[in-house]
Structure 1
Amino acid sequence: MSALRSSQVAAAAGVNLQTLRYYERRGLVAEPERSLGGHRLYPAETVTVLRVIKAAQRLGFTLDEVADLLAAGTHRHGSPDIRLQERARAKLAEVEAKIADLQAIAGTLRATVAAGCDDLVTCAGEPRCPIPFAAIGSR
């Protein structure tokens, strides 16, 4: 197995060097060995770990959640880890709730456009105004 320098790992994973170093400081990426000249030498699987981190972030997982998932994956001891399934289900529910909220917002904006609202203050005083001013203030 050949070791990769920081720039090689970052380029192969599609991240910048600062991101690689940040993930290393956060413990998401294992601290690499060093060459005699002091250069970081990462194992090739670091590229995969970085790609997994970025994919998990695109799916909505926070870095803390990613760290937990990565740690859970390294402590299997022969038994299947259902934490990923649990976390994926929870994240799916969270995403579906956000979608529902966004659909409600989109509906209100469609109604605002259809009602011809051009001025928020004027619109707020009109009975046809679809913007939920009262509901917004009650939160």
Structure 2
Amino acid sequence: MRIGELAQRSGLSASRLRFYESAGLIGPAERGANGYRAFPAETLTRLELITGAQRAGFTLDEIRGLLPGCDGPAGEVGHAPQIAAALRRKVGEIEALQHRLETSKIRLLAIVDSLENGPQGLDCAANTRRVLDGIKRTDIKEAAAKEAAE
């Protein structure tokens, strides 16, 4: 199929398809006598794998190493353990990100509470110092707790 049809069926732009081709994520298209790219039908499935993996948080380099026919172990027999290991690593990264986001959310809500329920009548500079001092105290407590845990 030509690049325009592949773009339409995959939902990706022709420029993205050309990029994936030049990056080695999809096989090089054959060129017709007219110079048009002609991609095999399997390219659509490969693109679905690529876009699904990107939505799951994989980088293009990580995807390249996991796709069959690319550099890396993907073409080898028994490739499932490598894919499973990559997925476990990605789950770990997501869990770490969730933890950092939850910590940030708690800190931001504490700042909001401090702003909304703090002493009345402070000018802007004094209130800013009060809030920043609270943040610094929290940072010191968190650093001490982290150091004690290690």
1:111–1:130 Cα contact (<8 Å) kept: no
2:23 maps to amino acid: R
Structure 2 residue identity aligned to 1:112: I
Q: Where does residue 89 of structure 1 map in the other structure?
A: 88
Task: Give the superposition deviation at 1:81.
Answer: 2.9
Structure 1 letter corresponding to 2:61 = D
Amino acid at match of 1:7: G
Deviation at 1:88?
A: 0.3
Structure 1: runs of 5 or more not aligned: none
The structure richer in helix per residue is 2
Q: 1:127 to 1:42 in 2, by over 3 A?
A: closer
In structure 2, the partner of 1:12 is 9
Residues 112-131 of structure 1 show CA distances to partners (whole Å, capped at 9, x for unaligned) of 11111699864553279543
Q: Which deviates the most, 116-125 or 85-94?
A: 116-125
Residue pair 2:73, 2:79 contacting (<8 A) in 1 also = no
TM-score (norm 1): 0.82
1:54 aligns with 2:60: no
Q: Partner residue of 1:107?
A: 106
For 1:45, the equivalent position in structure 2 comes to 42
The runs of 5 or more residues in structure 2 that have no matched partner are: 144-150
Shift, 1:35, TM fit: 1.4
Q: Measure the CA separation in 2 of the matches of 1:121 and 1:75.
A: 62
Q: Distance in 1 between matches of 2:18 and 2:132?
A: 55
- Answer yes or no: is the 8 Å Cα contact 1:5–1:41 preserved in 2: yes
Counterpart in the other structure of 2:146 = none
- Aligned match for 1:131, one of 125, 128, 135: 135
In the TM superposition, residue 48 of structure 1 has moved relative to its aligned partner by 1.1
Contact 2:111 2:131 (C-alpha < 8 Å) held by counterparts: no
Higher relative CO (CA 8 A, sep ≥ 6), structure 1 or 2? 1
